Every structure is written in structure tokens, then in C-alpha cells.
Amino acid sequence: MINSTDFRTGLTIEIDGGVWQIVDFQHVKPGKGAAFVRTKIKNVETGAVVERTFNPNEKMPAAHLETQNMQFLYEADGMYTFMNTESYEQVELNKEQLGDALNYLMENMEVSIQTFKGRIIGIQLPNSVNLKVIECEPSVKGNTATGATKMAKVETGYEVRVPLFINEGEVLRIDTRTGNYIERA
């Protein structure tokens, strides 16, 4: 059990049978009345973020998440198959469970899958991935005075804003947390 005064950013707790991660917290001591802890918590399964206040003597059970390293194998009929790299056990996930991770997922990519009480609740990608540009407008020389950007489609079908000098066939490094172009790989 975790006391609400021990909350820290990134801590996972169990509330009403759901797993929540603390995004932000603040200990508030008003001039009049009892102190409380104001938190912003995110549901790990749905991604919903809510603000909630807790009394300082309130206790919450800690949610222990298990992380397994897995490799993405293939997609068939909307189901995405992953293999545990240690036990070779295979797991299938659907599009809803993967969410935005689909924009960056390539065959044979190593990912971490988080489980809670045997239930898959999330996927963690590497911080950046290298993806090949398959479609973009050709670059025009002398058109770079203001750091302008254009849209480029990468091999996963994801569209990202890139500088004007990027051409088809180039490999880009893309940040999986924000979805932004970082550099040429």
C-alpha cells in the first residue's frame, strides 16, 4: 500500500480495479482546512487523463506491471503477432491495443509489452525508429529561406513533416513519443 503523500511521477497505482499512472502531483496545504494531494493520473489501458484529489492519509495499492521483451513478427487479418524473445511464446494484439504504435511498427522490431495480472495493457517502443520515405514531393532548390517543411509518407504508412531537402528513398529517424522527424539516419 502506498500512502498518497508518497506519490511520485511515474508511479503506478490501482484504483477501482484499473491501473493508473501518476503524471503530475502537488501537495497542497491551504491556509484553512486540511492538506490534500492534487494529482493528474492517466489510465494505462485507455490513456484517459483525469485530475483527482486524495487525502494525505489515504492509501492505494501499488500496481506492479510486468514488462516482457518481444519481437514483432507479422500482421494477419488485423491481428499483430509478437513473440517473447526468451520463451518463444507468441501473443496476438489488435489495432485498439496497439494504438499509435502502429505508425512505427516494423517486422522484427524489438518492443516491450506491459502486463498487469496477466492482462496486456500496453506496448513500449524504442524512443526512435528508422523508417524509409516512400512518398514525398520533390525538393526545389532555393526554397529553404524560412525552414519550411513538407509531408512525407514512410514505409509504415505514417505521414510526418520533414524539411524540404528530404527525398524519396531516404531513411529518417523519427521520435516515437512525439511522432516528429529527428534527422536523416
- Assigned fold of 1-58: SH3 type barrels. (2.30.30)
Per-10-residue mean pLDDT of the chain, 185 residues long, equals 83 85 87 88 82 88 86 88 89 82 87 84 85 84 70 89 87 87 85
Number of other CB atoms surrounding residue 131 within 10 Å: 23
| Domain over 64-122 is classified CATH 3.40.250.10 | no
For the chain, the straight-line distance linking the first and the last C-alpha, in angstroms and rounded, comes to 46
Q: Between the CA of residue 14 and those of 108, 121, 135, what are the distances in Å?
A: 33, 13, 45
Q: Tell me, yes or no, if the two domains 64-122 and 126-182 fold the same way.
A: yes
| 126-182 under CATH 2.70.98.70, yes or no | no
pTM: 0.69
Give me the sheet containing 128-136, strands edge to edge: 159-163, 149-154, 128-136, 171-175, 181-184
